[in-house]
Structure 1
Amino acid sequence: MENLNVKNVILVHGAFADGSGFKALYNELTKKGYNVSVVQNPLTSLEDDVLATHVALERIGGPAILAGHSWGGAVITEAGNHPNVAALVYIAAFQPDTGESALQWLQTVPPAPENGVLPPDEKGIVYYAKDKYHAGFCADIDAEEAEFMYASQGAFYAKGFVSPITDAAWRHKPAYGLVATEDKSIDPEIQRNMYRRSDTRVTEVKGSHVIFMSQPEIVANVIIEAAEKVSEV
């Protein structure tokens, strides 16, 4: 394989969060020589989030590892067909196939009692319940940080959850996945089932839905492994 020397990483956040949660992971990657960009998803639709990701990929101007958390996994599955994407990394993330939506997978296992995803409001926006956010979304970070995350979550439009993937990029690009074994937002069994079906290279991490915050070194190492693997001659 051509030596790509991939040193670019694009990070794509999910619903009920924004790009600021990637700071610890950004720090881990940049201190190891990677050029990192964080996409700020509008969360208005799958198409809009894919467009925002494509803008970041074009701006970085070379081959990149595209990593997505949670809903961001659906985004990278669609956006990952961009020619600048060398490999995909799924961080406790949805990984639908062509014709599938994120919601289809979310419904395959009953939600955990701690899960606080609310029904869509009158505008079609889905939020995470405040009283369940810490336990259900980010139990292994401190309460003060969880409060900031809750306050800075984006307005996620529910139509994204039901939008089908048109061409699953993991069918064409190398894929790596991290299973968060204590996840109360996307059941770990859902993550395992998706990754198993796609023959994704899996790393299991004991942690909540936000392992990229609580254990950034482990997540960074998987991203670096993906970059080094595609950079091999």
Structure 2
Amino acid sequence: MTRNQLVKIAISSSAIASCLFAVPSFAQESRWISDVLYVPMRKGPSNQHTILHRGLKSGTRLSLIQSEENWSQVKLENGDIGWVPNQYLAEEPIAALKLDSAAQKAQRSDERYQQAAAQLKVLKDENESLKKQLSNAEQGSSALSSELNQIKQISANAIDLNDNYQQLAKDHQLLQTELDVAQAENERLKKEDSQTWFMYGAAAVALGVLITLIVPAIRPRRRHSEWG
């Protein structure tokens, strides 16, 4: 048996299987021209009907209107309706369409990957910038904490100075009070001393006057005989 005979038997078997398993259908399902270069579309479901389209290219998408024993009525995307043999129809796209679809999906996936990589780079750059800002903020916070501690120390010293000042003010007030008391006592003593010396002077004057009055009285008088 030659190779051509085997091919013919395989094609005949495929046609017979298509006839056996063909089920009439009126749903708007999709069909594709199988891996054959061109398939004619006729006006009716036989080779005797007029050809409406001389060749539908492999991979052409069709909308299934109804299916009979060996033929199916289909609708093109431009709206033309006709009949094609079932043996040239496939329920799935041909390998070339699948490959093209897979390539398109891969291209879209690559584009999404490139976009994601670009976004990731932007996010990494933003992350690095945020890390630097955080480091600067931490350094600034440390400096502020140090300044705050210095301010607290200065405030504590100021409070101590204020307390010392208040205590010194109290001590000064006490000393001033004691000084005022001492000055008042000194003035009093000065007045008393002046009065004492005045009294002494008055007494001395009185004594002098008294002596002046008494001494002549007690001096002996001369007798007249003594005078003669």
In the superposition, the TM-score normalised over structure 1's length comes to 0.17
By percentage of residues, which structure has more helix? 2
Structure ID, larger Rg: 2
